């Protein structure tokens, strides 16, 4: 595996290739979910590139940024174990040579006003800045992202439209722990007790998915919010939306493809998850 710190070197390595390139951008602290993205990329492309960069501009909360887990040594071992071809490991100066005060502004419209767009102001603009920069460097054929970050996938789809990019976005299924908790780098920040409680997020999603044909969304989400609070989570939102647009829905509509999305804090760690409603 080539490990490169500078965009110039990565571009040089890739410039002569006519091969298809699968790209998996990450912020490190890799888990099975990330590795499954690499595996998808490997199956569908001749070269697989992963990046690890904890992007400061997408953290609206400095405390969240300060405690984001960093495990580069283990990450490299994991990437080697799945046969990654190239790891791009830039530092902040490499990605933001002119500083972080004058970011590009991307018009992602409605998506920035709801869910994480609403609760994490500036977050998606930070994501767009870094993903756009990375795409200009890697110039992949395909870009792989996880469905766990459902809204991020739609934002990046929009980014590709805005920038008239020909990169194909492939959204891969969420990987879960045996108790249902969606795999996330942030799970490692939880205490053993917190980790046990965190499974209730998926429990809520499943409860809604099981009962949606007989109980209103308002009643189900109120019930789930109360249950999450009782065990010590602080739900930020439990919302229902049209899956293709994320237009929020007041109640279930069986003529639509629907998704339920949850964000909740636990021990100061913000966790998100979502589930497509099974018809
Ligand atoms: O999903 C993530 O890990 C990050 O938001 C991404 C896409 C790597 C951009 O920093």
Q: Does any ligand 1 atom lie closer than 6 A to the CB of residue 55? A: yes
In this structure, the number of other CB atoms found within 10 A of the CB of residue 252 comes to 18
The chain-wide mean pLDDT, for the chain, equals: 98
pLDDT digits (tens, 9 = 90+) for 211-220: 999 999 999 9
**pLDDT at residue 16 greater than cutoff 90:** no
pLDDT band at 17 (very low <50, low <70, confident <90, very high): confident
**pLDDT at residue 18 greater than cutoff 90:** no
Residue 163 contacts residue 143 (beta carbons within 8 Å): no
pLDDT band at 136 (very low <50, low <70, confident <90, very high): very high
Would the CATH topology of 2-172 be identical to that of 185-273? no
**pLDDT at residue 44 greater than cutoff 90:** yes
Mean predicted confidence (pLDDT) in 37-44: 98
- The beta-strand segments (E) located in the chain are 2-4, 21-26, 47-52, 86-88, 142-146, 168-172, 234-242, 258-266, 269-276
34 is catalytic: yes
pLDDT digits (tens, 9 = 90+) for 79-117: 999 999 999 999 999 999 999 999 999 999 999 999 999
25 Cα: distance to centroid of ligand 1 (angstroms): 6
Q: What percent of the chain has pLDDT over 70?
A: 100
Please pick, among 34, 40, 123, 132, the residue that the annotation labels catalytic: 34
Which residue CA neighbors atom 6 of ligand 1 most closely? 26
Domain range 185-273, its CATH number among 3.40.50.12280, 3.30.1300.10, 3.30.70.260, 3.40.50.720? 3.30.1300.10
The pLDDT score that the predictor gives to residue 101 is: 96
> What is 2-172's CATH topology?
Rossmann fold (3.40.50)
Token readout for 41 is 């990329």
The pLDDT score that the predictor gives to residue 53 is: 98
Q: Does any ligand 1 atom lie closer than 6 A to the CB of residue 131? A: yes
Q: Does any ligand 1 atom lie closer than 6 A to the CB of residue 111? A: no
Q: Does any ligand 1 atom lie closer than 6 A to the CB of residue 135? A: no
Per-domain boundaries in the chain: 2-172, 185-273
Helix spans in 82-169 (H):
92-95, 115-119, 123-138, 150-162
125 Cα: distance to centroid of ligand 1 (angstroms): 12
pLDDT digits (tens, 9 = 90+) for 229-278: 999 999 999 999 999 999 999 999 999 999 999 999 999 999 999 999 99
Q: What percent of the chain has pLDDT over 90?
A: 98
Mean predicted confidence (pLDDT) in 26-46: 98
Q: Is the pTM of this model over 0.95?
A: yes
């Amino acid at each position: 595996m080539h490990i490169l710190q500078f965009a110039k070197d990565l571009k040089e390595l890739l410039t002569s290739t006519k091969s298809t390139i699968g790209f998996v951008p990450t912020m490190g602290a890799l888990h099975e979910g990330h590795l499954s993205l690499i595996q998808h990329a490997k199956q569908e492309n001749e070269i697989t590139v992963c990046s690890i960069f904890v992007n400061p501009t997408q953290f609206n909360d400095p405390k969240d940024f300060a405690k984001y887990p960093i495990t580069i040594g283990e990450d490299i071992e994991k990437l080697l174990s799945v046969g990654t071809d190239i790891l791009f490991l830039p530092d902040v100066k490499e990605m933001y040579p002119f500083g972080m005060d004058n970011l590009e502004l991307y018009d992602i419209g409605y998506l920035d006003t709801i869910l994480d767009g609403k609760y994490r102001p500036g977050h998606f603009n930070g994501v767009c800045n870094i993903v756009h920069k990375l795409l200009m460097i890697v110039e992949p054929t395909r870009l792989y992202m996880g469905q766990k970050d459902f809204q991020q996938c739609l934002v990046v789809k929009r980014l590709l439209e805005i920038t008239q990019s020909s990169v194909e976005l492939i959204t891969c299924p969420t990987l879960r722990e045996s108790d249902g908790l969606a795999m996330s780098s942030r799970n490692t920040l939880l205490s053993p007790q917190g980790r046990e409680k965190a499974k209730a997020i998926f429990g809520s999603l499943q409860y809604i998915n099981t009962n949606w044909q007989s109980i209103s969304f308002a009643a189900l989400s109120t019930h789930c919010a109360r249950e999450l609070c009782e065990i010590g989570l602080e739900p930020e939102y439990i919302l229902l939306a049209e899956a293709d647009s994320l237009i929020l829905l007041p109640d279930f509509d069986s003529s639509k493809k629907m998704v339920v999305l949850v964000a909740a804090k636990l021990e100061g760690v913000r966790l998100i998850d979502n589930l497509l409603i099974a018809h």
